[in-house]
Structure 1
Amino acid sequence: MPQDRTGGPAEPPSPEAGRAWSGHEGAEAFAAVEAGTDWLLGYPFVFKALAGADGALLDFGCGPGRVAAHAARALGIRVIGVDASPDMLALARKEGPPGAEYHLVADGRVDGLPDACADAAMCNHVLASLPDERTVLEVFAEIHRLLRPGARFALLTTDPACAGIEYASLRVGEPGVTYGPGEPMPVRLRRTDGTWQSVRNHAWPVETFPPLLERVGFAAVAQHHPTPDEAVGVADPEHVRGRDWSAERLRPPLVVTTAVKR
């Protein structure tokens, strides 16, 4: 179980910090998350990592489709969104860019899509909902199946090593707690109305990803912690200037892991 820095057991997550994204209400709640830190240090760097790709972009775990719509505009690419939630897909279809298509993930597989149908792939904050290594490997293997050889993959995750720090739009974990792979970890996310949404996610230390990606057939794995200074010229300028991002400057909380399908 998670340990605090004194070696004692960590306090369990509060009862209200349950999974928030299931069903129609959960999908609507997810769509109302502000994601300010992600739009500074996350999504723009995912788009940068995939720049130059053409054809079709796979968004594995597309949620309500907001990020995929931005990716389509930023990259000039057609989107294939997939998600395990029919309610998320329903929201994504409402706002999807021209030419986008959406498919359901069932038992870890997208049955409606053939092998090597995508020219690039991204997976943003999906692994936090996965409880064990086997399920993470299933996601990586399915993304690998859907990509053509030589295609690039970008994975966006939070770093559990930043537990307890208050960022502009999120806090992962509790102060002083160290989380192991797959262990339950509370997360707080700021909504667009300024209130906070509490969810119970799973911690995945970023060093666990490279060997798992390589195991399913990816190569050239690299990791990057984007900083606010690097966001200048990458993220939206008004967004960069909108806050002082003091916590993000002290310790950037997001990691972009990139890989290439062998």
Structure 2
Amino acid sequence: MEAATDWLLGYPFVFRALSRRIGSGEVLVDYGCGPGKVADHAARLLGARVLGVDTSPEMLALARASAPAVAEYHLVEDGRVTALADGCADAVMCNHVLASLPTEEAVLGVFTEIRRLLRPGAPFVLLATDPACSGTEYASLRIGEPGRVYGPGDELTVRLRRTDGSWQEVRNHAWPVDLYPGLLERAGLREVVQHRPSVDEALTVADADLAAGRAWPAERARPPLVITTALAA
């Protein structure tokens, strides 16, 4: 996937939030690491000891082969990373995972497991798309259909641009970003803050060549990504 919008308005802001709270050699868990590209980038940029976890053995196998900077990979089974102890993480990040979950109970379950992994006072950084931005054609994605309004858990189709310029459709679920603070607090996290990065901010945070390489008209008009941060109580 090209993921240009994510690398402009998403991941650089996740890394910035983590860099303010995590030091070299500390443990960062990437919950829902997928093929490991973001985890690998975080390990190299932050100097953290990154542990990737995912529900898919296939994704973990791909990550092990393609993201060598990550220290370890672990499988999430029945909602739990059994190989990792309570309070083992100095920070956790979770990028574009919640849209794959079909119920609010499942979202709360992920937050609860993340809280278990975090030591008290440690930060959690969440990156998610906003389903209220449905139908807008961004550089590398479109969330839902034009003119549609999606409620919590509604199915929607996300279009993702491949590196060859073609599009792939993925079935996801809509979770309004204003739902997250209450669920995070129920899971035992506090001091929840949400931020919607803008293109102007990204000019000083994201890769300079990427930021300068396009006009980003849709991203400027209606930024689609939201960063939510919280601390383990």
Compute the TM-score of the two structures, normalised by the length of structure 1. Answer: 0.86
Corresponding residue for 1:216? 187
Deviations 1:116-168 (A, max 9, x none): 11101100000010000110011000000001111111000000010000000
Give the SS at the match of 1:174: coil
Residues 72, 97 of structure 1: 8 Å contact kept: no
SS in 1 for 2:164: coil
Matched with 1:62 is 33
Residues 170, 188 of structure 1: 8 Å contact kept? yes
Shift of 1:97: 3.4
CA offsets per residue over residues 34-78 of structure 1, 9 Å max, x none?
A: 100000000000001111403110000000000001111121111
Question: Structure 1 stretches of 5 or more lacking a match?
Answer: 1-32
Alignment check: 8 A CA contact 2:40 2:69 kept: no
Residue aligning to 1:172: 143
Matched, 1:144 2:115: yes
SS of 1:207's equivalent?
A: helix
Q: Distance in 2 between matches of 1:99 and 1:242?
A: 29
What's the RMSD between the two structures over aligned residues? 0.8
| Match status 1:106 vs 2:81 | no
2:95 to 124, 132, 135: 124
What is the match of residue 11 of structure 1?
none
Residue 100 of structure 1 deviates from its aligned partner by: 1.1
Matched, 1:163 2:163: no
1: distance between equivalents of 2:203 and 2:143? 25
| Corresponding residue of 2:158 | 187
2:19 pairs with one of 41, 44, 51: 51
User: What is the DSSP-based 3-state SS (H/G/I as helix, E as strand, rest coil) of the residue aligned with 1:150?
Assistant: coil
Match of 1:58, SS state, is: strand
How far does residue 99 in structure 1 lie from its aligned partner after superposition?
5.6
1:39 aligns with 2:7: yes
- Indicate the SS of the match to 2:109: helix
Tell which structure's C-alpha radius of gyration is larger: 1
One-letter amino acid of the structure 2 residue matched with residue 216 of structure 1: A
Query: What amino acid does structure 2 have at the position aligned with 1:43?
Result: Y
